[in-house]
A and B are shown apart, each in its own frame.
Chain A
Amino acid sequence: EAGVAQSPRYKIIEKRQSVAFWCNPISGHATLYWYQQILGQGPKLLIQFQNNGVVDDSQLPKDRFSAERLKGVDSTLKIQPAKLEDSAVYLCASSSSPRQYFGPGTRLTVT
């Protein structure tokens, strides 16, 4: 079974630039999550999708972050404009049960 795919794996941008991350969940998983993990901290949920509908986006900084899940499968997370404090690993996870399967993450560095 293929795992959760994410790209790119690494990204370096300057502040005020835009960036987008892509996630392809495990086939058949209805629920998709985006997490932000800042160095030394645990993953923090940004947004949760059930199929292509948003279940929880209460911790998504909506003035600069946006996410969509096309046709209930792939998802993209965008940051526009980026700030220095957005430097983190962005993890995508999917699930069809309480257990979540994580992708390898995208490490974003904002300079």
Chain B
Amino acid sequence: DQQVKQNSPSLSVQEGRISILNCDYTNSMFDYFLWYKKYPAEGPTFLISISSIKDKNEDGRFTVFLNKSAKHLSLHIVPSQPGDSAVYFCAASANTGNQFYFGTGTSLTVIP
């Protein structure tokens, strides 16, 4: 049972444009969400997080939006850079410290 879903396996974007990566979840108890970035042959690295008390969190070029009623979150990267090309995973947990459930990932390619 996939509780966190990333329905787009891949995304291609021109350099300088906006990248929007989407994530949906089914468990209404999830209250903490993270985005990870993964390069080949490396472990995932933390990118940005958001708790359910917020609907937006921003860190430089990265912004995460949370829509609790729709059980949907998205990651916006503006402007996109070639170095952003990687696989992006969203993850969710109910009560921080508990198990995180990961999506299947979206492979982003930023075209120079």
Q: Which of A's residues lie within 8 Å of B, judged by CB? A: 4, 31, 40-45, 48, 56, 91, 93, 97-105
* Size range of the chain B interface in the assembly: 20 to 34
Classify the secondary structure of B's interface with A: loop
| A42 near B105: Cβ-Cβ < 8 Å | yes
Name the A residues within 8 Å of B89 (CB-CB): 42-43
How many interface contacts (CB-CB < 8 Å) are there between A and B?
49
Shortest B106–chain A CB gap in Å is 11
Nearest chain A residue, comparing its CB with the CB of B51: A98
Q: A42-B4, A43-B89, A104-B43 are in contact. Are A98 and B97 (CB under 8 A)?
A: yes
Query: Are A98 and B93 in contact, with the CB atoms below 8 A?
Result: yes
Decide if A105 touches B43 in the complex (CB within 8 Å). yes
Given contacts A42-B4, A98-B32, contact A4 B43 (CB under 8 A): yes
